């Protein structure tokens, strides 16, 4: 158990924004967390807001956090059932997501190898429904274990009750701020079928591997390679990955845009809706590679905003706002941040 006061969060958010939390509490077991919640009820700090974070790879702190930050250090992996072709793992929410992916690929537990190299922790995979290269975390999530931050009560919910959608879940809506995720159960396959639905991954693999049979480790290697080409390493350049979600627009609006921009990239959602890459919209508005003070738009992937050095949360937020305004003025589309803005 580890409680710190007036604690800098600079190492706990991948934007590298230097703000402080009144109280920072890390726990290594569910009991430590429930004890802390019980103690808080009788403490003078009991009315302070609580925020549970993961690695902070999806957060933008706008100022000091006048409350309690919670962070899981539960990192164990348990095999809870195993059959010929399927294994169910119970994984601590504080384990680094990519360490979990590495463990699975090494052991031949398949289904998340396309999600290699994503910053963040296991708990956040269940909250954000992280996704990349044709796969989402919810494809393999079976159940999620929670602790109620008010009562300390434990709860187990099924994947169906998590209400997963594109970068969405009940934890970002009805349950927002209410629970800590302590464990996530994943159902993985022991039989490998590569998911090559993402074109750039397929082309890369087709060229490099030709007739050789692919393994989950090969996919992991190629995904990491693809990511390295496009996405900045947060240890070198502060960022939170995709800053915005890819917008889904009405087919009618898309048709209008396509008249003026025949080359507009898109993914069909259904007969009436189309998803347009936010990266393309932002680039068309001339933002790619631009800086405004210490905040910048990454030159290889404009969906990523970066801290060029010494930025405060407001610098990034102002840049994001200007981008939204340009995209709205040019295309009539509202971009929605994927990153959580934290103000207290």
Residues in contact with ligand EPU by the rule CB under 6 A:
132-133, 198, 230-231, 241-242, 245-246, 265, 277, 279-280, 283, 288, 301-303, 338
**Residue 209 CB-half CA count within 13 A:** 18
Nearer to ligand EPU, 86 or 204 (CB): 204
- Could you tell me which of 339, 281, 329, 328 has the C-alpha nearest to residue 305? 339
Catalytic residue, candidates 116, 125, 169, 242: 242
- Cβ nearer to ligand EPU, comparing 103 with 198: 198
Q: What is the 3-state secondary structure (H, E, C) of the chain?
A: CEEEEEEECHHHCCCCCCCEEEEEEEECCHHHHHHHHHHHHCCCCCCCCEEEECCCCCEEECCCEEEEEEEECCCCEEEEEECCCEEEEEEECCCEHHHHHHHHHHHCCECCHHHCCCCCEHHHHHHHCCEECCEEHHHCEEEEEEEECCCCCEEEEECHHHCCECCECHHHCCCCCCEEEEEEEEEEECCCCCCCCCHHHHHHHHHHHCCCCCCHHHHHHHHHHHHHHHCCCCCCCEEEEECECCCEEEHHHHHHHHHHCCCCCCEECCCCEEECCHHHHHHHCCCCCCEECCEEECCCCCCEEEECCCCCHHHHHHHHHHHHHHHHHHHCCCCCECCEEECC
Closest residue to ligand EPU: CB criterion: 241
Q: Measured from the CB of residue 40, what is the shortest distance to ligand EPU in angstroms?
A: 32
* Min separation Cβ 269 and ligand EPU, Å: 13
Question: At closest approach, how far in Å is the CB of 124 from ligand EPU?
Answer: 11
Whole-angstrom distance, CA of residue 335 vs CA of residue 282: 10
Identify which of residues 7 and 198 has a Cβ nearer to ligand EPU in the complex: 198
Is 242 among the residues known to form the active site? yes
Whether 72 is a known active-site residue: answer: no
Minimum CB–partner distance for residue 303 and ligand EPU (Å): 5
Name the token pair of 76.
């164990």
Q: What strand order describes the sheet that includes 291-292?
A: 238-242, 304-307, 295-297, 291-292
Q: Is 31 a catalytic residue?
A: no
Least distance in Å: CB of 302 to ligand EPU?
Answer: 5
Nearer to ligand EPU, 152 or 194 (CB): 194
Catalytic residue among 167, 178, 189, 215: 167
If the CB atoms of residues 67 and 277 are measured against ligand EPU, the closer one turns out to be 277
Nearest distance, CB of residue 289 and ligand EPU, angstroms: 9
As measured in angstroms, the least distance from the Cβ of 31 to ligand EPU is: 33
Catalytic residues: 167, 242, 338
């Amino acid at each position: 158990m580890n409680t710190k006061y007036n604690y800098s969060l600079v190492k706990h958010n991948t934007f590298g924004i230097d703000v402080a939390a009144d109280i920072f509490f890390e726990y290594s077991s569910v009991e430590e967390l429930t004890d802390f919640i019980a103690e808080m009820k009788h403490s003078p700090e009991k009315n302070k807001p609580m925020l549970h974070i993961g690695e902070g790879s999806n957060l933008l702190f706008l100022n000091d956090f006048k409350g309690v930050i919670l962070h899981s250090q539960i990192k164990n992996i348990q095999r809870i059932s195993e059959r010929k072709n399927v294994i169910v793992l119970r994984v601590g929410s504080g384990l680094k997501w990519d360490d979990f992916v590495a463990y699975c690929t090494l052991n031949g537990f398949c289904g998340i190898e396309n999600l290699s190299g994503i910053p963040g922790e296991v708990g956040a995979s269940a909250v954000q429904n992280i996704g990349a290269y044709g796969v989402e975390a919810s494809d393999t999530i079976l159940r999620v274990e929670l602790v109620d931050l008010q009562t300390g009560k434990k709860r187990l919910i099924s994947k169906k009750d998590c209400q997963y959608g594109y970068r969405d879940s009940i934890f970002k809506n009805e349950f927002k701020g209410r629970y800590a995720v302590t464990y996530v159960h994943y159902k993985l396959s022991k039989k490998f079928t590569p998911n090559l639905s993402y074109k750039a991954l397929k082309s890369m693999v087709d060229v490099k591997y030709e007739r050789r049979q692919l393994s989950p480790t090969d996919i992991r290697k190629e995904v990491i390679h693809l990511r390295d080409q496009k996405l900045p390493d947060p240890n070198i350049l502060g960022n939170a990955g995709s800053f915005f979600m890819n917008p889904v627009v009405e087919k009618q609006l898309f048709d209008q845009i396509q008249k003026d921009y025949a080359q507009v990239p898109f993914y069909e959602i259904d007969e009436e809706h189309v998803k347009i890459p936010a990266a393309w919209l932002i680039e068309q508005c001339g933002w790619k590679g631009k800086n405004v003070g210490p905040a910048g738009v990454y030159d290889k992937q404009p969906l990523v905003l970066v801290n060029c050095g010494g930025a405060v949360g407001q610098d990034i937020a102002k840049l994001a706002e200007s981008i939204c305004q340009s995209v709205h003025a040019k295309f009539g589309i509202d971009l929605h941040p994927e990153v959580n803005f934290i103000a207290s």
